[in-house]
Chain A
């Protein structure tokens, strides 16, 4: 069995787009992506169709993949329409061709032993956590999930999480479902209770920072997936950089799309994300 690695560039086809609360659940036929997918990797889509003169692609995290099916390999993604590009995507009729590159980036690192893991995510950033939970369970890792959002409509996968994990904690900012709190607030107690050794997290920068801090306090490893900004997704444009400390102790501006999107939480200089620290060096 040959292991297929690296991204493919293919013309995909929209199989369906369904509403999922505040989000859109896209299913694409995209040959070759599923075989190469590992949880945490993402795809980059061209926007606007064949006549488009848009230069920038949109990166989408991958919810799940199916290598074979009635239509060939498919991938699914859950995203929010936040700008004209993602709104265009959300309005695509079934059968529309879409240019796909992927899977891209570095996946979540999996523990070698069957240790307890906590998966934390905010909003639709939870989507990639389900494929991760499956991989972890295959390795015998007990999995707990902590999902949060501002409102119930902005939660994604709370029901699926109950099926997929040993325990689920849900928070909403407005208390419409679950605990009325920030998603990270219950994390310290959860880490104490479960003796988790690894925390996986996906969501906005401030949330990832809080997760990395809580993990460090509890002596757990953290694997944080940053949001890749619009650009190329393929490591070319150097627009999605953030300051990350290397093994040599040197801070470098590295690409969220190529060196990430998953980083060790204790390596990212969270307070400096969005800036270029004085001591940062060039990379790539």
Chain B
């Protein structure tokens, strides 16, 4: 009889997102990968995987080029290329379910009717962990209307995450409207609207013209949104996304009030980065003698208050 060497237990990484119990707070972000990631990471070991945004009908997406590299980031306009809901439910979703991957289905639509139909059909599919609503609205009124429809037409045991529209305005207003209309949690941030010029053609570089900026460049902007929402609406669960590429970046989001984080464009640079961020986060906590992820969620607000 041999005794396995005892390794000290790492920090307790479990987190709770609006009643959704996850083994750890690290998810992948919408539009930054799918089953392809399985070659590099154990997807079932992540907090969850957020799918590419699914629309009712198949979408061929935007013309090339769809990405342009920027200082510490990338400007993108993919145009929501996806196989449509039917194709997604027939192939991609069962692939995740079979591998016991916690799957957050990202949905996007151009009208309330489409959002409603997506909610109804995704809601009856087996194995959906949560639904993330990709919002294009940048005002509180429209944001609330979309969330109302999705919440109304989705079974109540499926949490709704509202990925708030990219806004130059007050993100707290959007978060408040989403929560009041049935969102169980809010997700910030989407990419920020941006532009890159092509030095050769002297025109905007992307096929679609303008695009959305993501990557390390937006990390402080996203962190600020998490901070502001948590400060104003401490009871609304927030998921932080934007330029996270290290465990320290993830820790920052948790300190600002996020109960989970999503790794996005870092996956382009390092397809195993979600797993790496999770491992690094555990290391960052252990290094600081912090036993539980739940102990650091919003901690920076408390520390700031006690300093004054």
Q: Write out the residue numbers on chain B whose beta carbons fall within 8 Å of the beta carbon of A99.
A: 270
Interface centre among A239, A258, A274 (most CB of B within 10 A): A239
- Of B35-43, B151-159, B160-168, B278-286, the one touching chain A: B35-43
Identify which of B36, B67, B245 contacts A239 (C-beta below 8 A): B67
| Closest A residue to B41 using CB positions | A9
- B45 close to chain A: CB less than 8 A: no
Identify which of A229, A231, A252, A253 contacts B268 (C-beta below 8 A): A231
Interface residues in A105-162 by Cβ distance below 8 A to B read: none
- Tally of contacts, chain A with chain B, CB under 8 A: 120
Question: Is the pair B271, A282 in contact by a Cβ cutoff of 8 Å?
Answer: no
Interface residues in A160-185 by Cβ distance below 8 A to B read: none
**Chain A interface residue count, Cβ-Cβ cutoff 8 angstroms:** 36
- Of B78-86, B101-109, B127-135, B137-145, the one touching chain A: B78-86
SS of B interface (majority): loop
Chain B min CB distance to A172 (Å): 25
The answer to whether A6 and B82 touch (CB under 8 A), given A53-B215, A281-B60, is no
Question: Is the pair B271, A236 in contact by a Cβ cutoff of 8 Å?
Answer: yes
**With A and B bound together, what is the CA distance between A56 and B271 in angstroms?**
11
SS of A interface (majority): loop
Question: Is the pair B65, A55 in contact by a Cβ cutoff of 8 Å?
Answer: no
Question: Is the pair A235, B36 in contact by a Cβ cutoff of 8 Å?
Answer: yes
**With A and B bound together, what is the CA distance between A252 and B67 in angstroms?**
19
**With A and B bound together, what is the CA distance between A46 and B267 in angstroms?**
11
| Closest B residue to A83 using CB positions | B69
Q: Write out the residue numbers on chain B whose beta carbons fall within 8 Å of the beta carbon of A276.
A: 60-63, 79
- A28 close to chain B: CB less than 8 A: no
Question: Is the pair B268, A282 in contact by a Cβ cutoff of 8 Å?
Answer: no
| Closest B residue to A273 using CB positions | B64
Q: Write out the residue numbers on chain A whose beta carbons fall within 8 Å of the beta carbon of B63.
A: 274-276
**With A and B bound together, what is the CA distance between A238 and B36 in angstroms?**
12
Using a CB–CB cutoff of 8 Å, the interface residues on chain B facing chain A are: 32-34, 36-37, 39-40, 58-67, 69, 72-74, 76, 78-79, 81-84, 87, 207, 214-217, 245, 265-272
